[in-house]
Chains A and B, each alone.
Chain A
Amino acid sequence: MAEDNGKLERFEARINAGEKIEPKDWMPERYRQQLIRMMSQHAHSEVVGMLPEGNWITRAPSLRRKMVLLAKVQDEAGHGHYLYSATETLGVTREEMLEKLLSGKAKYSNIFNYPTLTWADIGVIGWLVDGAAIVNQTMLAKTSYGPYSRAMIRICKEENFHKKQGYEIVATMARGTPAQRKMVQDALNRWWWPTLMMFGPHDKDSPNSGDLLRWKVKLKTNDELRQRFVDITVPQAHAVGLTIPDPELRYNEETGHWEFGEIDWDEFWRVIRGNGPCNKERLAARRKAHQEGAWVRAAAEAYARKHGREPGKAA
């Protein structure tokens, strides 16, 4: 125990000195477990996040929009890979992580349990959901765990176009026909509050925040990140003549921040506990895809064997 205390002290001293923790370094079990939880949830979110958007690839309104959406969804798959790969450095296998997702034990971002009803939703998701993700991920690029930080830096570099393509769709519709304007305002009305919920509970109700902040896994609190998102997003809505669906929204001249109304936390907890509009549909789609892909994995392995390449050995 005394030795463990010494280790913990050295670990915390390294973190306070701004050093990164690498996979083979000693780390408190709680640091490891919290990272596995956070990073695998993040990976699952990238993967499940492909579903609401993939849904619209065949119905994109032009070839340009279709190419862009395909590239974005492919990026999300890649980002899931980066994150599973980084999480594996903590001693958990991809098999275990996938099993937890498919059995419904693991969580992923709540936002993907909402439906994409119209094309405007695709614009609003890129603008708001990717915008919120970028706020969070820009912070996580500085996280204390080396592999997580490196994966985040890669993701941040790629994700900027996701937000811009979304905003382009939104801006185009906002200066379109009355029906288009109505459609994009309706999408904003539906996605605004769930996006604010993406940052998680208030700091005072966030049980994991203390250790995560002390160990610099996170460098900012949920409420700080949410405020930053609101501050950058509100002017973007106004620039294209859209209204944020919050009667309490107002600019505070003194603080320089946009103040906003209270989130419906009952809805937040209801969706987290599995009773959102699409929780069952998303998991069912993911399970189906995994099961239907099993023969491809088996065939590729059989092919490697047939050509004398034992799986896992260099070609």
Chain B
Amino acid sequence: MATEKNVPEQDTQWPRWEVFVQEKTGEPHQHAGSVHAPDGELALQNARDVYARRGKVYSIWVVPAEHIVATSPSDQGPFFDPAEDKIFRYPHFYKVPRGVKNL
């Protein structure tokens, strides 16, 4: 059986699309997983069949997986560092006279 071709030569699994699902209006789209599809239209249909079988979905985004650009853990330090030494971005950095309210 091992010598037999199990999958035809021209077989395809189609490209991968990342799927983002919004469960209710007012909520953010959240990453749910991925699907394979030949184009955006079918990617949406596949995403509905895979990630929205129980109703509870308001909107779906699909993005070709190769178009997602992401940080990598190796730049974790240098890339996010600048945010850490600017505590003046937080309200507790500022001194306010005693008794003043609603600032």
User: Which residues of the partner chain A approach B12 to less than 8 Å between Cβ atoms?
Assistant: 297-298, 301, 311
Interface residue B10 (Cβ < 8 Å from any Cβ of A): yes
The total of chain A residues at the interface (CB under 8 A) is 41
Interface residues as binary, A256-268 with B (CB distance below 8 Å gives 1, 0 otherwise): 0000000000000
Q: Is the CB of A311 within 8 A of B39?
A: yes
Q: Are A294 and B33 in contact (CB under 8 A)?
A: no
**B72 interfacial by beta-carbon distance below 8 Å:** yes
Kindly state the separation between the CA atoms of A151 and B72 in the bound complex, as whole angstroms.
Answer: 22
Q: Report if A25 contacts B (CB, 8 A).
A: yes
Q: Which residue of B lies closest to A312 (CB)?
A: B15
CB-contact partner of B6 in A93, A287, A315, under 8 A? A287
Kindly identify which residue among A82, A88, A150, A297 contacts B50, using a CB–CB cutoff of 8 Å.
A82
Task: State the CA gap A104–B4 with chains docked (Å).
Answer: 11
Given contacts A81-B50, A301-B38, A315-B41, contact A294 B70 (CB under 8 A): no
Question: By DSSP majority rule, is chain A's interface helix, strand, loop, or mixed?
Answer: helix
A26 touches B38 (CB 8 A): no
Closest to B31 in A: A150
Interface mask (A98-119 → B, CB under 8 Å = 1, otherwise 0): 1100111000000000000000
Shortest C-beta distance, B43 to chain A (Å), equals 8
Say yes or no: is A314 at the interface (Cβ < 8 Å to chain B): yes
**Nearest neighbor of A299 in chain B, beta-carbon distance:** B38
B1-22 Cβ-contact flags toward A at 8 Å (1 or 0) = 1100011101111111000000
B64 touches A82 (CB 8 A): no
Whether A290 contacts B7 by the Cβ 8 Å rule is: yes
Bound together, the chains give a CA A27 to CA B72 distance in angstroms of 14
Which of A24, A25, A151 touches B33 (beta carbons < 8 Å)? A151
Known A-B contacts A81-B50, A312-B64, A315-B41; the reply to A95 vs B33 at CB < 8 A is no
Complex interface: chain B residues within 8 A of A93 (CB): 13
How many whole Å from A22's CB to the nearest CB in chain B?
8
Please name the residue on chain A nearest to B37 by beta carbon: A300
Look across to chain A and name the residue whose beta carbon is closest to the beta carbon of B32.
A154
Q: Which of B11, B13, B41, B49 contacts A78 (CB 8 A)?
A: B49
Instruction: Please measure, in the bound complex, the distance between the C-alpha atom of A309 and the C-alpha atom of B66, giving whole angstroms.
Output: 16
CA distance A165 to B7 in the complex (A): 36
Q: Name the contact of A99 in the complex, choosing from B6, B39, B49, B54 (C-beta under 8 A).
A: B6
- State A304–B50 Cα separation when bound (angstroms): 21
Contact B40 A294 (CB under 8 A): no
Question: How distant is the Cα of A77 from the Cα of B32 in the complex, in angstroms?
Answer: 16
The residues of A that contact B63 with a CB separation of less than 8 Å are: 314
CA–CA, A294 to B6, complex, Å?
11
Within 8 A of B (CB), among A273-315: 287, 290-291, 294, 297-298, 300-301, 303-304, 307, 309, 311-315
Chain A positions near chain B (C-beta within 8 angstroms): 22, 24-26, 74-75, 78, 81-82, 85-86, 88, 93-95, 98-99, 102-104, 150-151, 154, 158, 287, 290-291, 294, 297-298, 300-301, 303-304, 307, 309, 311-315
Binding site for A on B (CB under 8 A): 1-2, 6-8, 10-16, 32-42, 49-51, 53-54, 62-64, 66-67, 70, 72-73
A-B CB contact pairs (8 Å), 21 listed:
A22-B73, A78-B49, A81-B33, A82-B33, A85-B33, A86-B33, A88-B34, A98-B7, A104-B2, A158-B54, A294-B8, A297-B11, A300-B14, A300-B37, A303-B38, A309-B38, A311-B38, A311-B39, A312-B15, A312-B38, A312-B64
